[in-house]
Amino acid sequence: MAEANPWLKQYPAEIPSTLSYPKQPVQDYLKSAAEEFPEKIAIHFMGKEFTYKYIYESSLKLAAYLQNLGIEKGDRVAIMLPNTPQSVFSYYGILMAGGVVVQTNPLYMERELEYQMKDSGAKAIITMDILYPKVSKVVPQTELNHIIVTAVKEALPFPKNLIYPFIQKKQYGIVVNVKHEGHNHLLTEILKRPAEPMKMHDFDFEEDLALLQYTGGTTGFPKGVMLSHSNLVSNTAMCKAWLYKCRRGEETVLGILPFFHVYGMTTVMILSVMDAHKMVLLPKFDPETTLKTIHKQRPTLFPGAPTIYIGLLNHPDIKKYDLSSIDSCISGSAALPVEVQQKFEEITGGKLVEGYGLTESSPVTHANFLWDRPRVKGSIGVPWPDTDAAIFSLETGEALPAGEVGEIAVKGPQVMKGYWNRPEETAQALRDGWLLTGDLGYMDENGYFYVVDRKKDMIIAGGFNIYPREIEEVLYEHPAVQEVIAAGIPDPYRGETVKAYIVLKEGKEATEEELDEFARKHLAAYKVPRLYEFRKELPKTAVGKILRRALVDEEKKKFKEEEEKRA
């Protein structure tokens, strides 16, 4: 009989297999950090610094104001902000008021925003001045009663705060002036108010929601993932245990991953606050700005995504910057090419390992070890403390032995309560306490897990099952390839055929014939892409995850149009 939880034998002595979780809501950790380190820098943002005391007091003022607006325990309040100091104290302020945070992508168009506000039933939203026109248009169709408006300039040092409005006007072509009246509220005015008494709520650690985090909607309309205080605290505590060499109050965390994505929210913001680290925030990823920031601010922790690391590695001036402060990085949101991992470690001297998770698990369930264990090539690592994982057969639903491919399932305190107002979808995703991930993979005899591909991304060509990730790993090894995505596109003969979309490195060249010859040296003939398309860039999500589905949809549309012409 197979050994239960074989991965626990791989754990170094410093990582316990099970943890104890204080039954404290997420916001209590900000209070603890502010009491222990009041004058410690919590956030560095574009040259200006904010202490833990300031962030805590700002959160309290916002919380009291939200309660005065009528926000009750369990009411949803949306945040539509990039990574800024305001996004941090908005998050904690909503929780202190008793509300549930609804994270909203600032890039959303009106239709997407309206859908999310309607679905969540949000009563208020905190957003940027530049986004106010978009937000105000959806208010009549939603339950939004209040818009709280802030601006990037409010978090900038002198003289950047004076210059920035002119830059913004040039960039967006508009100037937005909002008055503090009616259902419009200015965050600057709220923070000028003296601290007010606040209604204190009792929190049920296990049951009360902290967050409605919407999934990307690659399989229909986005769904609101219900994450409790317990879900978020336990996953952050697991992350803290995994980073056992990090010292409380002494690390600097680079915050490029957006907080409106659960990965950035947990591994940068909540972790930093829980352990009183300093966050260095960037509102968006720009390779040159990021390199300069690392050089000056000396971050030690750098959670990221493969496209972020690739973007830095391919910057022509990377060798001009000192990146040696970086000690540890966990990469998520997409498969980490081995070549990228090796090159990034060579340049920084730090450790970069691949992790795994999904919104429904707060998000992390697996990761490779950063220290004291040999590297396992191509693996997403082993389950985190208190996390169980298994491979289930697609045919029978039964657990499979080591080495056999099936659907990855996970179980643990970080797994969601369910989907907001969607009992049927919840029942499909959660079975007997197991979260079915939709990813195909296998576990080896030592308990390391491997993702073969998304169930929905698997290509079936001429009866063969083909996994895009395997093709991408091979093509990433070609010296001219910067980014690649493989996808199955409609084929009248084979059902589907493999197409590779390529972004070449700057100054490099490669032809279809060269890539085909390269691929044939490493892949079985039926896996070799039949088609190649060279692009300047690939469509991506806000965290840099390449949108394979968008490319497949393009091809299906083309195929349908060609079929109609032939008919």
Calpha distance 241→492 (Å, rounded):
52
**pLDDT tens-digit profile of 471-491?**
998 999 999 999 999 999 988
Largest Cα span, the chain: 73
Beta pairing partners, 336 = none
Query: Regarding the domain with residue range 233-455, which homologous superfamily does it belong to in the CATH classification?
Result: ANL, N-terminal domain (3.40.50.12780)
Give 338 or 13, the one with higher predicted confidence. Answer: 13
Backbone torsion region of residue 298, taken as left when φ is above 0, otherwise alpha when ψ lies between -120 and 50, otherwise beta? left
The residues, ordered by sequence, that sit 6+ positions from 369 with a Cβ below 8 Å of its Cβ are 10, 12, 353, 381, 382
Calpha distance 416→202 (Å, rounded):
21
pLDDT for the residue 1: 39
All CATH 3.40.50.980 domain ranges of the chain, comma separated, are 26-202
What topology is assigned to 26-202 in CATH? Answer: Rossmann fold (3.40.50)
Say yes or no to pLDDT of 217 above 50: no
Mean pLDDT of 153-158: 93
Q: For a pLDDT cut of 70, what percent of the chain falls above it?
A: 98
Say yes or no to pLDDT of 464 above 80: no
**pLDDT tens-digit profile of 106-141?**
988 888 899 999 999 999 999 999 999 999 999 999
Say yes or no to pLDDT of 567 above 80: no
Helix (H) or strand (E) holding 162: helix 160-172
**Phi first, then psi: what are they for 298, rounded to 5°?**
55, 55
The residues, ordered by sequence, that sit 6+ positions from 463 with a Cβ below 8 Å of its Cβ are none
pLDDT for the residue 453: 79
All CATH 3.30.300.30 domain ranges of the chain, comma separated, are 457-566
Contact 451, 335 (CB under 8 A): yes
pLDDT for the residue 529: 96
Closest CA to 191 of 162, 148, 158: 148
Least confident of 10-14, 373-377, 401-405: 373-377
pLDDT for the residue 467: 81
pLDDT for the residue 205: 94
pLDDT averaged over every residue in the chain: 93
Mean pLDDT of 523-528: 87
**pLDDT tens-digit profile of 247-299?**
999 999 999 999 999 999 999 999 999 999 999 999 999 999 999 999 999 99
pTM (2 d.p.): 0.87
Query: Regarding the domain with residue range 457-566, which homologous superfamily does it belong to in the CATH classification?
Result: ANL, C-terminal domain (3.30.300.30)
What sign does the CA torsion over 336, 237, 263, 357 have?
positive
Backbone torsion region of residue 509, taken as left when φ is above 0, otherwise alpha when ψ lies between -120 and 50, otherwise beta? beta
Say yes or no to pLDDT of 526 above 90: no
Mean pLDDT of 322-342: 92
Closest CA to 552 of 537, 565, 539, 567: 539
Say yes or no to pLDDT of 311 above 70: yes
Residue 2: band (very low, low, confident or very high) from pLDDT cuts 50, 70, 90: low
pLDDT for the residue 525: 85
Closest CA to 353 of 334, 332, 372: 332
Query: Look-up: residue for tokens 């505590």?
Result: 237
All CATH 3.40.50.12780 domain ranges of the chain, comma separated, are 233-455
Say yes or no to pLDDT of 335 above 70: yes
Calpha distance 360→380 (Å, rounded):
17
Say yes or no to pLDDT of 219 above 50: no
Calpha distance 98→481 (Å, rounded):
49
95: which 2 tokens? 């929780």
369: which 2 tokens? 């070890």
Mean pLDDT of 50-76: 98
Residue 334: band (very low, low, confident or very high) from pLDDT cuts 50, 70, 90: confident
Say yes or no to pLDDT of 84 above 80: yes
101: which 2 tokens? 């945070």
What sign does the CA torsion over 404, 408, 411, 413 have?
positive
pLDDT for the residue 151: 95
Contact 456, 415 (CB under 8 A): no
